A and B are shown apart, each in its own frame.
Chain A
Amino acid sequence: MKSLLVGLCLGLFSCSIFSQDILIEAESFDNPGGWVIDPQFVEQMGSPYLMAHGMGEPAKNATTIVNFPKTGDYHIWVRTMNWVPGQWEAPGRFQLKVGDSTIETVLGQRSGWGWEYVGSTKIEMTEEQVELIDLTGFNGRCDAIYFSTRMEEPPTSQKKLVEWRTKLAQEPNAPEKGEDYDLVVVGGGIAGCAAAIAAAEQGLKVALIHDRPLLGGNASSEIRVHTLGIYGHFERILKKLDTEHYPNGSAESKLDQEKRDNNVKSYTNIDLHLNYRAYDAVAKNNIVQYVDARHTGTGERKRFTAPYFVDSTGDGWIGFWTGAEFSYGRESVDTYGEDWEEWGELWSPKEADNAVMGSSVLWGSKLTEMKQIFPDVPWAMPVAKAYEEVNGEWQWEFSRNDLNQIDDAEEIRDHMLRAIYGSFSNAKKHPDNNNRKLEWVSYLVGKRESRRLVGDHIFTFNDAKTGNKFPDAVVIETREVDVHYQTVLEDENNPDFISEALFYKTPEYYIPYRSLYSKNVDNLFMAGRNFSTSHIGLGGPRVMRTTGQMGAAVGLAASLCKKYDVNPREIYTGYLDEYLKVIKEQKYIEIPDSKQ
């Protein structure tokens, strides 16, 4: 933090002799205290930010040391947002402390992300401590703090803000650090981890880029969804990564977290880039050239080059940035003939639309020995209404057709937080729950469905229903096709954050390799929920042992791509027998000849 600021100040000083400007990115605070770094919405609001996720108890102060180029009077702005504007006090209020002085202005009150003027203060020493003081424990958020000797508010619009930030940081276009690999895997969910392991076991030098400190994505102990599905050909690899079948949201996920992290780290030829979030990728002539990623805390950037890339970001970001064809929403029932008369429109609509399965935010509470107070949450009640609950399972899910699961993910997460806090507050009114305390609420959105990249084959409901055994079947599944809808569609009195699942029992079915690489970006694989499928097709294989199978399958395909210097499609057209043999052979670790 210190060195970044000194560099920043010197740079600015050289371009302006009239003012001193210092931008502090909150996520790079020396000590975040009880605040958490939230990098989920960078593409929408511009940056990772610090959030006071105290579940009703004010988070411990976040602190950092700031080096000012000179002492004097500074104006201060904070980039923040009131996440539930309305006829109540903003839920996420906080204050700023500079040196020994707490500045009176209460922050976190404006609608939409933007700058709030904090006030002016006299900086008497060139090195000062800056603190964020949480007042509520309910998800106050701070993206950045800007000190300036001039009374000129920084820009709010996203485009101008990006330019302003770049200018201020004097960042060159390209990251200065570059690293070259055989395979770059973006996204460290179960699919990405499996891809990295499978490729590494075949001798490839692999980069695994993941925007969290913990691996596993939806299966991580930060989100806590258990893994479902079968192992297919990849039991040995997937057992290194999967979870027990505990209730979703269970603290037991921590045991599997340790197992998973250690297993991935045990591969010397996997370079693990934790807390790096990809922010750009570029293709030339339909070939991905590189992926750029930024550290979610320090802001350090790296460029990753390789002949092959795996998009296991879930949201299909690499494909999106490089121009890969993708789909979003529900196809019309006739597009692929995915009718199920029993459920009609709930299953597959006559006319296509942008509805998708929703995102979950899991949570839980526990009984303690003492009485526990939970604050009033009037801002949560318009969502929770009279619903009461003390923990959340998979049915806690939200989607709405005016909200995009990528572009509006922050609003979706915030809607779920209101549902959780409000429902818990209702439950707390019962004397039985006097001693009950919120134990854990995820702040990460557990997504089910968003962009689906298009491959040479689009996997559909009919592939599952008929058990079509493709010549290039590499993923096997027996799990029912299970598609969710919001129960509010059937009755407006239902809470809008609870879903219902429709299950279609299938025979064993298969996903072909052709659904695991992009149709039009020649060196791009995909694994995970952003593989090539229809909305209904995704209903079965979106669970994480299945997506893990996809990952392992593309990791092995990448090794053959390297061996023959060919693109993913050519594995299907020219090397399929060898590919299927490699899949078969990796099932068990080979016993050396000397010991046979």
Chain B
Amino acid sequence: MKSQISTLVFFVATMGFAQFGAPSGISRVPHQNGLVEAPEFYILEWKFGTQLKEKATDLTIIVDSLGNQKVNALAGPDDHEVLYTSDISTPVCADGECKLMHIRFYWTILGQYAGFDRYPNLPLTKNDHDEFQYMDYLKLHQLLMDDNSILKRRKMEELVKKPKQPKMEGVDAVAGATIKEIKESVVSGALYSCYTAWHIVHGSIKEEILQRTSASIDADVILNMLNSRHADYQLFALKRLDEKQYEENYARIADIFKSGIPLVRTFIIKNLPDSFWNSEKLQGFFWNSFSEIDINSRSLLLNNINRASPKVSQGLSLQLQSMTKNQLKIYLKHLEDSNRMSSSIKENLLAFANSRSETIAYLVSDFLEDYQ
């Protein structure tokens, strides 16, 4: 998932480099036997004081000509794995010249990219031997966060192929979106390094880590994931909760619904157990977020309008400005079908219908005309 990319770019652009260490100097030494501070480039939250110890696993990554490189787990005091890591040295070859790239990668316990640390005195370099600058590392981090990068489906030789000349004059000589997308996503002058790094991070190791985690998952880990801010963890946990656990964790689930990404909201609202819809209190937490959530999630909530309490029908009459045209139609039809048109709802509808700033006020006017 790429949910953090734009936030990160914005963050760096506005806050400068302070949060990430010196822009051009050498990074701190990656810890040999564990981790006591967040990796330099990192996507998960890191609690101050966290200490992770390294545990050997049987996982490896095969690197061209250098054989297997070990992948270790990093575990917390309760011995639960928190991250996976590997110190990678791999040849990067361009135009017949090969150099070694040294980097330490981190994966989440679901096998997704979590971050990297660079090595002191072993900076990454570009084709022309220039060293990576801080912004280059940051761009590499962004690229690695993109698990659906254009690099995924392309062979290296395809990426360096020159585009065809167009047949008609005046047509830009570009091979469509592809070249543009590649240029935007990789570090300038370091296509080979980026390509190699991406394919190591997103190679078969992802699936192997996921399988390892799935085989040993327990309730505590699932609960930790539910409480994480990381959307993939949230979804993984939500999929594994039974009805009782949904009810026990309703406050956290309602909180994720309000603050999470639309994809997670969508999952929650489509999979809420019936017990939520039968309880005015439990469903209330979700309806209360109506005006703050995205349009798609609002539509999914409205799919359940006929299971909503009268209080919800009433409350929504004050939130008509948050509805799209079709959502408003669903709500009005609900009022008609459910016979819940109270005097106060009607008053709210009238106020909306008479508002000059509401562009779909006419729908409510028409409705009120027919309703009378």
Interface residues in chain A, defined as those with a beta carbon under 8 Å from any beta carbon in chain B: 85-87, 111-112, 244, 246-248, 250-252, 254-255, 344-346, 349-351, 353, 366, 393-395, 400-403, 408, 411, 480, 487-494, 500-503, 505
Contacts and interface: CB of A to CB of B under 8 A. Distances in A.
Contacts of B156: none
B190 to A, nearest CB: 24
Contact of A491 (B6, B235, B326, B327): B6
A402 B295 contact: yes
10 contacts: A248-B177, A251-B168, A252-B166, A252-B171, A344-B235, A351-B271, A401-B296, A491-B6, A491-B261, A492-B261
A478 to B, nearest CB: 14
The interface size bin for chain B is: 35 or more
B172 A350 contact: no
Interface in B307-355: 324-327
Interface string B283-303: 000000000001110111000
Contact of B299 (A252, A402, A493): A402
Nearest to A346: B263
A351 B296 contact: no
Nearest to A488: B262
B33 interface: no
Nearest to A501: B148
Contacts of A254: 168
Interface stretch (B49-57, B61-69, B74-82, B356-364): B356-364
B167 interface: yes
Contacts of B4: 491
Contact of B174 (A85, A247, A350, A501): A247
A248 B176 contact: yes
Contacts of A353: 270, 300
A487 B361 CA distance: 30
Name A's interface SS: loop
Given A250-B166, A251-B168, 7 more contacts: A247-B175, A255-B167, A393-B177, A395-B177, A401-B300, A402-B295, A408-B326
CB-CB nearest 6 A-B residue pairs: A85-B359, A247-B176, A393-B177, A351-B270, A491-B3, A402-B299
Given A489-B261, A490-B2, A402 B171 contact: no
B86 to A, nearest CB: 20
A492 B294 contact: yes
Given A252-B166, A255-B167, A489-B266, A350 B271 contact: yes
A491 B265 CA distance: 12
A346 B201 CA distance: 21
Contacts of A251: 168, 170-171
Given A488-B262, A494-B6, A503-B153, A400 B296 contact: yes
B280 to A, nearest CB: 23
Interface of B: 1-7, 148, 152-153, 166-168, 170-172, 174-177, 231, 235, 239, 261-263, 266-267, 270-271, 294-296, 298-300, 324-327, 357, 359-363
A110 to B, nearest CB: 8
B267 A252 contact: no
A555 to B, nearest CB: 30
B208 to A, nearest CB: 13
Contacts of B148: 500-502
A519 B166 CA distance: 45
A366 B170 contact: yes
Contacts of B235: 344-345
Contact of B357 (A87, A500, A503): A87
A496 B294 CA distance: 11
Contacts of B298: 402
Contacts of B263: 345-346, 489-490
Contacts of A490: 1-3, 231, 261-263
Given A111-B360, A251-B170, A503-B153, A349 B261 contact: no
A346 B148 CA distance: 12
Nearest to A351: B270
Contacts of B176: 246-248, 393
